[in-house]
Amino acid sequence: MNSFNKLHTIGKKAAHLKGVIHLLDWDQETYLPPEGAEPRSEQVALVSSIRHDLITSETYRQTLESFEPDTDDEKACHREWMRDFKHAIALPSSFVEEFAKTTSEAVEVWKEARQKSDFSLFAPALKKVMNLSRQKAEYLGYKETPYDALLDDYEPDTTTSQIEVLFNDLKKEIIPLLKSIKNKTDKKLTGTFGQEEQLSFSRKIAEKMGFSFKSGRLDLTTHPFCTSLHPLDNRITTRVYTEEPISCLMGVIHETGHALYDAGLPIKWFGTPLGEYISMGMQESQSRFWETRIGQSRPFWSGFYKELQTYFPTQLKTISEEEFYNILNRVEPTFVRVESDEVTYPLHVILRFEIEKALINDQLPVEEIPALWNQKMKDYLGITPPNDKLGCLQDVHWSCGHVGYFPTYTLGNMYAAILFNAFKKDHADWESRVSNGELSFINDWQKQAVHQHGRRYRSLPLLEKISNAPFSAKPYTDYLKEKYQNHPRS
Amino acid sequence: MNSFNKLHTIGKKAAHLKGVIHLLDWDQETYLPPEGAEPRSEQVALVSSIRHDLITSETYRQTLESFEPDTDDEKACHREWMRDFKHAIALPSSFVEEFAKTTSEAVEVWKEARQKSDFSLFAPALKKVMNLSRQKAEYLGYKETPYDALLDDYEPDTTTSQIEVLFNDLKKEIIPLLKSIKNKTDKKLTGTFGQEEQLSFSRKIAEKMGFSFKSGRLDLTTHPFCTSLHPLDNRITTRVYTEEPISCLMGVIHETGHALYDAGLPIKWFGTPLGEYISMGMQESQSRFWETRIGQSRPFWSGFYKELQTYFPTQLKTISEEEFYNILNRVEPTFVRVESDEVTYPLHVILRFEIEKALINDQLPVEEIPALWNQKMKDYLGITPPNDKLGCLQDVHWSCGHVGYFPTYTLGNMYAAILFNAFKKDHADWESRVSNGELSFINDWQKQAVHQHGRRYRSLPLLEKISNAPFSAKPYTDYLKEKYQNHPRS
């Protein structure tokens, strides 16, 4: 067996073990009986440590170091395997254990603090997590600032200073845009929208998009998510609010976007970096492309509103297609990120990025978070949270130690804007095709543009290759302005 | 860390890995999308081989061999750990792989042969499985006959000659009993029994028995089964036929019997043999105790028939409690084991035991199975299968290589008879308590009599300790005669 095959064999095992961990996590969110949570955390920790041992073993190191890649494919694999290996050995197991223990306790404290809407209860635990995250950054290494190391974990080779430039560009455009927007309707959806009907319509749309229920599932959870055990086993979840059918459907469209990326990764490269997605940002670009550029578009509802009405004939009788479209695209500053619209969403993210960056770079004491949060909400969105629950205690990320993750939500939207422009160039007739109920050609395009490459390219070089232009925030702000300000919405 | 703690630490990992394999299997039967089957088999093979490496490692061997047990608990653990270790190292991995590959192919061939009802299609594959099973017996070692080695895998320290004596005793009693039985009713259930109502009633009964849905689940599958990921995570399944409510409920009661055993194993011994069940036979004794001695008893239906009628008021309007009891306990020779009644069931098992024993001991060419099967059906049950599908192709066991498993079904019933007598001694008022809807005291009794011991004792010594009498088939045949012949059923 040559070195590549040896590495691929170990890589396949590591990939299957990741699939097993994803099943353990999926089961925990969907079907695990409550008392099974304790053994479950031990199972996850065990399989994770077996996986870690496998990809940091002496055999693996030697094979990797002596590997002389031949083809372009092998060179790409080698580069990414080296990156993963350096990352895996950077953190001592004692640190990984302490990190896991501290964050798992912090999540419990956060839950209580959030419930009581009292940040002071959470502050000591958060301080510990931030200290460990800073330590993590030191272990991982960075060029300019500790936050770089954490960001790199979610979006490889992207730096804090890059994000700062991009996010400042966004603020300059979006804050005034938000002030200028006037909603076209005040109509609201009323009535009860049955769970079965919502799920049935959502499943239909997911299938139209290219999701196969032969190699995937849809289940219900508190928060929608997507996980993949293998390109042939992709599982999405959603939630249903019977007072409106949008959350469920948009959850499904978003998660299907993720799932189609996972399902579109080349199976022959399973167990190598060429069979893996590029980054969290690129993942988010796929889900947001589908959710906002397609699911929230006029052509989509020209194609599907009549069908949605057949599911809810009485509830949607008095709502025209145009009114429905306007309800769906209503812009309004609100306190909670996950419920926010396309225009305010990036401001929520920028606020979090600025705060967590300051925390990691030791420029902000934890105690001052609530005041700074509320100040930024006022500055960016013009509203002030009435309490910490609706303010700085709303997200689970920090308690989990997911520092550096937030920016990828907005990067994803920026990527989606660039991809959408390229897609429109290749498919000038996309509006009429979508209006006719065609969707899977969009997945075909994304497969060819993004999915097929695995981790061969980083996000930015790939996007520059696709768009033939340097990367910037402009396509994204242009899109938002075009849709929400200049474009007649009727 | 002393040797015991070292062994316990490894044992815990091995037990958690078994739990992970059980989740992979459970998911495959319940929710896995069809195309996920291929990666699933690779995941299961990988985790199994990691587990095997762990409990056959040089570190483990050295720790085990240098371990000098102190207490009775440690001595019992040592004895069973040694047994497991010898077993684990007996089979070379190349053999394990070949066995897995051959049986997995044989299952596919069997499915096709069964569908076409043509044993000759299956014969070549079965021959291979039997050859490998014989080889397995040689690897494992035995005193008298190769079949001993296979039997020992499912029911430790039980020999072929013991089973022969027991089964001959059974035949002598049961064949004439069967001929003498006259059913008390020809009434049949009619109407449609809704799935939701069936499941709701079944869940209620499972909870009454002591099953906790905080540490367990009930799902739907083609064939009912029970699996345990940990004493705090026990999962049962059943199937629903809307033409009658008995299959679903009896499936649930049976599987709950298994689950209560798994849930009753002492958590503090998790990862040691004292936290594991004794054998397949003892497992079956728990499920059959609940199913036949309780679920098919008069007191149970005095307690619950009225409630069942509230679920199906129109469907059960014209069926009295006594008639329902008689329908439930109807005895009639049929071709299919899994659908058979209490009296004919052991004859189905004995027939299989006699055939597989002859196959393993090289006294029967595979080609002669159909003729011998049909002959024995005629001799024991008085009926002749019209085809192989309803005859020797009905069970999956042989294609899976589960040779030596069948006898444990009947051993379980024998054990249940002995346990039931002991239980009645301790709870002379059981009939009135069950009639009053009390069930969980039965689980309390079984926990104390059986579950709490883990693998401290083998089945027979434990039963002799409980009953204070030598083990025999008599309590079982006495029970059958009492219930089906001598006892006035009205």
- Touching check for B9 and chain A: CB below 8 Å? no
Which chain B residues contact residue A19 at CB under 8 A?
39, 43
Query: Nearest-CA distance from A484 to chain B in Å?
Result: 40
Please give the pLDDT value at position A490: 40
- Considering the domain architecture, whether residues A96 and A70 belong to the same structural domain is answered as no
- Considering the domain architecture, whether residues A121 and A159 belong to the same structural domain is answered as yes
Q: Give whole-number Cα distances, A294 to A246, A288, A311, A436, B14, in Å.
A: 14, 9, 21, 13, 48
Please give the pLDDT value at position B488: 43
Tell me, what amino acid is at B35? E
- Is A216–B16 a contact, with Cβ atoms under 8 angstroms apart? no
Last residue of a domain, one of A29, A49, A74: A74
- Considering the domain architecture, whether residues B66 and B145 belong to the same structural domain is answered as no
Task: Out of A19, A38, A232, name the one closest to residue B35 (CB).
Answer: A232
Q: Is the residue at B193 inside a domain?
A: yes
- Touching check for A212 and chain B: CB below 8 Å? yes
Mean pLDDT of chain A: 96
Which chain B residues contact residue A17 at CB under 8 A?
46
Helices B246-264 and B195-209, packing angle to 10 deg: 30
- Touching check for A214 and chain B: CB below 8 Å? yes
Backbone φ and ψ of A230, nearest 5°: 175, 155
- Is B214–A35 a contact, with Cβ atoms under 8 angstroms apart? yes
Q: Is the backbone of residue A142 left (phi > 0), alpha (psi -120 to 50) or beta? A: beta
Query: Nearest-CA distance from B458 to chain A in Å?
Result: 28
Which chain A residues contact residue B38 at CB under 8 A?
232
Please give the pLDDT value at position B186: 84
How far is it between the farthest Cα atoms of chain A? 69
Q: Is the residue at A84 inside a domain?
A: no
- Touching check for B267 and chain A: CB below 8 Å? no
Mutation target for A interface from B38, B41, B46: give the one with most A CBs within 10 A.
B46
Q: What is d(CA A451, CA A447) in angstroms, rounded to the nearest whole number? A: 4
Task: Out of A33, A46, A212, name the one closest to residue B216 (CB).
Answer: A33
Instruction: Please state, as a whole number, how many other Cβ atoms lie within 10 Å of the Cβ of residue B66.
Output: 9
Mutation target for A interface from B8, B21, B30, B31: give the one with most A CBs within 10 A.
B31
- Considering the domain architecture, whether residues A63 and A99 belong to the same structural domain is answered as no
Q: Is the residue at B131 inside a domain?
A: no
Chain centroid to CA A124: 28
On whether the CB atoms of residues A331 and A183 are closer than 8 A, the answer is yes
Mutation target for B interface from A38, A229, A235, A237: give the one with most B CBs within 10 A.
A229
Q: What is the DSSP letter of A292?
A: I
Task: With a cut of 80, say whether residue A452 has pLDDT above it.
Answer: yes
Backbone φ and ψ of A241, nearest 5°: -105, 120
- Considering the domain architecture, whether residues A311 and A399 belong to the same structural domain is answered as yes
Tell me, what amino acid is at B416? A
Task: Out of B16, B35, B42, name the one closest to residue A46 (CB).
Answer: B16
Which chain A residues contact residue B19 at CB under 8 A?
39, 43
- Is A233–B33 a contact, with Cβ atoms under 8 angstroms apart? yes
Q: Which domain holds residue A270?
A: 91-490
Q: Give whole-number Cα distances, B405 to B22, B282, B401, in Å.
A: 19, 13, 9
- Touching check for A42 and chain B: CB below 8 Å? yes
Last residue of a domain, one of B82, B104, B132: B82
- Considering the domain architecture, whether residues B318 and B250 belong to the same structural domain is answered as yes
- Considering the domain architecture, whether residues A304 and A362 belong to the same structural domain is answered as yes
On whether the CB atoms of residues A406 and A280 are closer than 8 A, the answer is no
Query: Nearest-CA distance from B32 to chain A in Å?
Result: 8
- Given CA atoms A327, A328, A333, A334 in this order, what sign does their dihedral have? positive
Query: Nearest-CA distance from B130 to chain A in Å?
Result: 32
Query: Minimal CA–CA distance to B205: which of B364, B425, B434?
Result: B434
**Active-site annotation of A, residues:** 255
- Is B232–A17 a contact, with Cβ atoms under 8 angstroms apart? no
- Touching check for B19 and chain A: CB below 8 Å? yes
Sheet holding A226-230, edge to edge: A216-220, A233-238, A226-230
Q: Is the residue at A219 inside a domain?
A: yes
- Is B24–A20 a contact, with Cβ atoms under 8 angstroms apart? yes
- B233-238/A233-238 β-pairing: unpaired
Please give the pLDDT value at position B183: 86
Last residue of a domain, one of A74, A100, A134: A74
- Is A35–B217 a contact, with Cβ atoms under 8 angstroms apart? no
Q: How confident is the model at residue A486 (pLDDT cuts 50, 70, 90)?
A: low
- Considering the domain architecture, whether residues A394 and A279 belong to the same structural domain is answered as yes
Q: Is the residue at A431 inside a domain?
A: yes
Q: What is the CATH number of the domain that holds B363?
A: 1.10.1370.30
Please give the pLDDT value at position A183: 86
Q: Is the residue at B102 inside a domain?
A: no
Task: Out of A16, A32, A232, name the one closest to residue B46 (CB).
Answer: A16
- Considering the domain architecture, whether residues A38 and A105 belong to the same structural domain is answered as no
- Considering the domain architecture, whether residues A210 and A306 belong to the same structural domain is answered as yes
Task: With a cut of 90, say whether residue A185 has pLDDT above it.
Answer: no
Please give the pLDDT value at position B486: 62
**Active-site choice (B197, B255, B284, B356):** B255
On whether the CB atoms of residues B69 and B77 are closer than 8 A, the answer is yes
How many domains, in total, are found in chain B?
A: 2
- Is B38–A216 a contact, with Cβ atoms under 8 angstroms apart? no
Q: Give whole-number Cα distances, B461 to A169, A352, B257, in Å.
A: 79, 66, 22
- Touching check for A232 and chain B: CB below 8 Å? yes
- Touching check for B214 and chain A: CB below 8 Å? yes
Mutation target for B interface from A8, A24, A29, A35: give the one with most B CBs within 10 A.
A35
Collapsing DSSP to helix, strand or coil, A135 comes out as helix
Tell me which chain A residue has its CA closest to the CA of residue B22. Answer: A24
Q: Is the residue at A96 inside a domain?
A: yes
Q: What is d(CA B357, CA B150) in angstroms, rounded to the nearest whole number? A: 10
- Is A35–B213 a contact, with Cβ atoms under 8 angstroms apart? no
- Considering the domain architecture, whether residues B322 and B465 belong to the same structural domain is answered as yes
- Considering the domain architecture, whether residues A178 and A273 belong to the same structural domain is answered as yes
Which chain A residues contact residue B8 at CB under 8 A?
none
- B233-238/B226-230 β-pairing: antiparallel
Task: With a cut of 70, say whether residue A439 has pLDDT above it.
Answer: yes
Q: B382: Cβ–Cβ under 8 A, 6 or more apart, which residues?
A: B178, B179, B333
Mutation target for A interface from B18, B20, B53: give the one with most A CBs within 10 A.
B20
Question: What is the 3-state secondary structure of chain B?
Answer: CCHHHHHHHHHHHHHHHHHHHHHHHHHHHHCCCHHHHHHHHHHHHHHHHHHHHHCCCHHHHHHHHHCCCCCHHHHHHHHHHHHHHHHHHHCCHHHHHHHHHHHHHHHHHHHHHHHHCCHHHHHHHHHHHHHHHHHHHHHHCCCCCHHHHHHHHHCCCCCHHHHHHHHHHHHHHHHHHHHHCCCCCCCCCCCCCCHHHHHHHHHHHHHHHCCCCCCEEEEECCCCCEEEEECCEEEEEECCECCECHHHHHHHHHHHHHHHHHHHCCHHHCCCHHHCCCCHHHHHHHHHHHHHHHHCCHHHHHHHHHHHHHHCCCCCCCCCHHHHHHHHCCCCCCCCHHHCCCCCHHHHHHHHHHHHHHHHCCCCCHHHHHHHHHHHHHHHHCCCCCCCCCCCCCCCHHHHCCCCCHHHHHHHHHHHHHHHHHHHHHCCCHHHHHHCCCCHHHHHHHHHHCHHHCCCCCHHHHHHHHHCCCCCCHHHHHHHHHHHHHCCCC
pLDDT in single tens digits along all 490 residues of chain B: 899 999 999 999 999 999 999 999 999 999 999 999 999 999 999 999 999 999 999 999 999 999 999 999 999 999 999 999 999 999 998 999 899 889 989 998 999 999 999 999 999 999 999 999 999 999 999 999 999 999 999 999 999 999 999 999 999 999 999 999 988 888 899 999 999 999 999 999 999 999 999 999 999 998 999 999 999 999 999 999 999 999 999 999 999 999 999 999 999 999 999 999 999 999 999 999 999 999 999 999 999 999 999 999 999 999 999 999 999 999 999 999 998 999 999 999 999 999 999 999 999 999 999 999 999 999 999 999 999 999 999 999 999 999 999 999 999 999 999 999 999 999 999 999 999 999 999 999 999 999 999 999 999 999 999 999 999 999 999 999 999 986 544 4
Q: Is the residue at A180 inside a domain?
A: yes
- Touching check for B488 and chain A: CB below 8 Å? no
Q: What is d(CA B199, CA B220) in angstroms, rounded to the nearest whole number? A: 9
Q: What is the pLDDT of residues A48-106, one digit of tens each?
A: 999 999 999 999 999 999 999 999 999 999 999 999 999 999 999 899 989 988 998 99
- Is A16–B212 a contact, with Cβ atoms under 8 angstroms apart? no
Task: Out of A40, A47, A232, name the one closest to residue B36 (CB).
Answer: A232
Backbone φ and ψ of A228, nearest 5°: -130, 130
Task: Pull the structure tokens for residue A82.
Answer: 């080296």
Task: Pull the structure tokens for residue A335.
Answer: 């306190």
